[in-house]
């Protein structure tokens, strides 16, 4: 039991070292871009010198794969920590069953997303060691070519955005409405003009597990996409199988969070978006809502 506690403490330290944005959303955009760039830099190192040597390089003191508060981490598909570019006593530890404070199987989720689409972004809560507060953290990761594993990097958000809380609340309200009036009536209600399930750029959407769009409370249209057909195999502008990914996550654990690009109904521009979704009880489908974030390229 003592060894287990010691391992958990090391895990906690690993998942909560540094990575703190400086306090504004503009700073967060810059930090996000740096994290994505660091993953690309690490993958280039693997390609240049091979995985085995790259793993050793990541572990060296003062290695070039730390940028301020950012660092890289490497896992195989079994959940084993192979390396991180900060001096932590973790390589070899299996973290596949580790849960974050908000109940998410962090490494397992990254493994599943990497297997499904070659990488992704995952948001979860963890303790910030500097503030000793639970904060929202986003990690970005990509599959290592010709190897069953991935490289990632992440950062703590300066604060949990109000839009995130509002998105989650909107999903809960939509599920409560379904429970109260039934799915068929709720779907009609979601489609009504001036319905209460939209707040600015926030809105709810409903899909079945075939990928059919059953309703969205903002009357969203996507150029070149027929919303009357299954969207399971339709890729977003960033190449992600958005609906299929949400279906798989909803089937696997009944909920999820996913980052992708979508048209903002307010600005009519493509923007990165983080959506939260939950399975509808006694129905093969899910309800979701999300919020738009600044584009890291801007």
Residues listed for the chain? 298
**Contact predicate 150/111, CB 8 Å:** yes
What pLDDT, on the 0 to 100 scale, is given for residue 53?
Answer: 96
The token pair at 207 is: 């899909």
In this predicted structure, what is the pLDDT of residue 187? 95
pLDDT at 148: 98
Cα end-to-end span (Å), the chain: 49
Calpha distance 73→153 (Å, rounded): 6
Q: Which residues of the chain have pLDDT under 50?
A: 1-2, 4-5, 7-9, 12-26, 223, 295-298
CATH H-level, domain 162-292: superfamily: PAS domain (3.30.450.20)
Fold of 2-156: Beta-Lactamase (3.30.450)
pLDDT score for 88: 54
- Compute the distance between CA of residue 16 and CA of residue 25 in angstroms, rounded to an integer: 20
pLDDT for the residue 18: 34
Q: Boundaries of CATH 3.30.450.20 in the chain? A: 2-156, 162-292
pLDDT of the residue at 5:
46
Please state the pTM of the whole predicted model.
0.54
Which residue, among 177, 166, 192, has the nearest Cα to 275 in the 3D structure? 166
Is-contact 249 260, C-beta < 8 A? no
Tell me the C-alpha to C-alpha distance, in Å, between residue 73 and each of 40, 142, 189.
12, 11, 45
What integer pLDDT is reported at residue 103 of this predicted model? 79
- What pLDDT does 17 receive? 42
DSSP result, 125-182: EEEETTTTEEEEEEEEEEEPTTSSEEEEEEEE-SS--HHHHHHHHHHHHHHHHHHHH-
Q: Tell me what pLDDT residue 228 has.
A: 67
d(CA 288, CA 277): 4
């Amino acid at each position: 039991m003592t060894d287990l506690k010691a391992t958990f403490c090391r895990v906690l330290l690993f998942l909560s070292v540094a990575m703190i944005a400086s306090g504004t959303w503009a700073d967060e955009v810059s930090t996000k871009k740096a994290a994505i760039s660091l993953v690309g830099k690490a993958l280039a190192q693997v390609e240049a010198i091979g995985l085995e040597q790259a793993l050793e390089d990541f572990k060296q003191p003062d290695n070039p794969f730390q940028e301020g508060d950012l660092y890289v981490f490497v896992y195989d598909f079994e959940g084993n920590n192979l390396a991180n570019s900060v001096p932590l006593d973790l390589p070899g530890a299996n973290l596949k069953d580790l849960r974050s404070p908000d109940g998410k199987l962090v490494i397992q989720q990254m493994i599943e997303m990497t297997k499904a689409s070659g990488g992704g972004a995952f948001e979860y809560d963890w303790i910030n060691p500097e503030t000793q507060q639970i904060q929202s953290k986003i990690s970005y990761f990509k599959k290592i070519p010709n190897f069953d594993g991935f490289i990632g990097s992440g950062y703590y958000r300066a604060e949990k955005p109000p839009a995130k809380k509002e998105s989650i609340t909107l999903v809960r309200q939509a599920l409560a409405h379904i429970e109260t009036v039934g799915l068929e009536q709720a779907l009609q209600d979601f489609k009504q003009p001036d319905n209460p399930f939209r707040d600015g750029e926030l809105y709810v959407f409903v899909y079945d597990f075939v990928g059919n769009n059953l309703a969205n409370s903002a009357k969203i249209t996507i150029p070149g996409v027929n919303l009357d057909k299954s969207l399971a195999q339709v890729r977003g502008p960033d190449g992600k199988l958005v609906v299929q990914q949400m279906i798989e996550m909803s089937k696997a654990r009944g909920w999820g969070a996913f980052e992708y690009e979508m048209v903002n109904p307010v600005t009519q521009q493509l923007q990165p978006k983080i959506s939260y979704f939950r399975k509808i009880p006694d129905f093969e489908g899910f309800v979701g809502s999300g919020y738009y974030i600044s584009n890291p390229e801007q």
